[in-house]
A and B are shown apart, each in its own frame.
Chain A
Amino acid sequence: EAQLVQSGAEVKKPGATVKISCKVSGYLFTDFFIHWVRQAPGKGLEWMGLLDPEDGETIYAASFQGRVSIAADTSTSTAYMELGSLRFEDTAIYYCARISRRRLRLGSFDFWGQGTLLAVSA
């Protein structure tokens, strides 16, 4: 079965950069698109961007453009999400999630990482 395991919780200061990893197993990494979604405390879900691990193509939500970078390391089957110029309002749980159908960019998310809590605090 597919598994997505994310890196641990982070505490960062405003203006800093965070990099969160998402290591996949149980399937061929390059076969399925990976998306990143975040959830602020007590709030809803917000889509951040997507990654095609096969060729590294990325698409980002406009609200994060210029601050976010998503990349793949196919040698370790790991996706990374880097968010810079952190603000207090970036405090959230960050999830990676897999699209359920092979080689489809969009669809439903069938497997999720466990989430990584990012706290932005002075």
Chain B
Amino acid sequence: DIQMTQSPPSLSASVGDRVTISCQASQDIRKYLNWYQQKPGQAPKVLIYGASTLESGVPSRFSGSGSGTDFTLTISSLQPEDIGTYYCQQYDDLPLTFGPGTTVDIK
């Protein structure tokens, strides 16, 4: 199975800050990487698919980059509504696997 790791496990930042979350795959997954945001009591919501394509309706302050084994989710200017947990997920191969998540809150 492809193992996904994320860093940091949690972060606290101020409104307007640039936030970066890293995701690493245990083997080459090309660009088959999605990012999800999950708020308490809600299902996850896709933000980025194919490593760097913004899902329709998602604010442009979210962006994704990377390929192979190393990926990054960036929030260019953190907003209060961005608090939640962010997960990366690979779909290069079955079983689909998710990172352990990064919890973001406002300082």
Overall SS of chain B's interface: loop
Cβ–Cβ contact B95 & A61, under 8 A: yes
8 Å CB contact of B43 from A46, A47, A62, A114: A114
Contact of B15 with A by CB under 8 A: no
Q: In the complex, what distance in Å separates the CA atom of A108 from the CA atom of B49?
A: 6
8 Å CB contact of A47 from B44, B95, B100: B95
Q: Which residue of B lies closest to A60 (CB)?
A: B95
Q: Which residue of B lies closest to A107 (CB)?
A: B91
Q: How many residues of A contact B (CB 8 A)?
A: 21
CB distance from B89 to the nearest CB of A (A): 7
Cβ–Cβ contact A108 & B46, under 8 A: yes
CB distance from A15 to the nearest CB of B (A): 25
Q: Which residues of B contact A113 (CB under 8 A)?
A: 43
Contact of A53 with B by CB under 8 A: no
Cβ–Cβ contact A112 & B43, under 8 A: yes
Task: Identify the A interface with B (CB < 8 A).
Answer: 35, 44-47, 50, 59, 61-62, 95, 97, 100, 106-110, 112-115
Task: Identify the B interface with A (CB < 8 A).
Answer: 32, 34, 36, 43-46, 49-50, 55, 87, 89, 91, 94-101
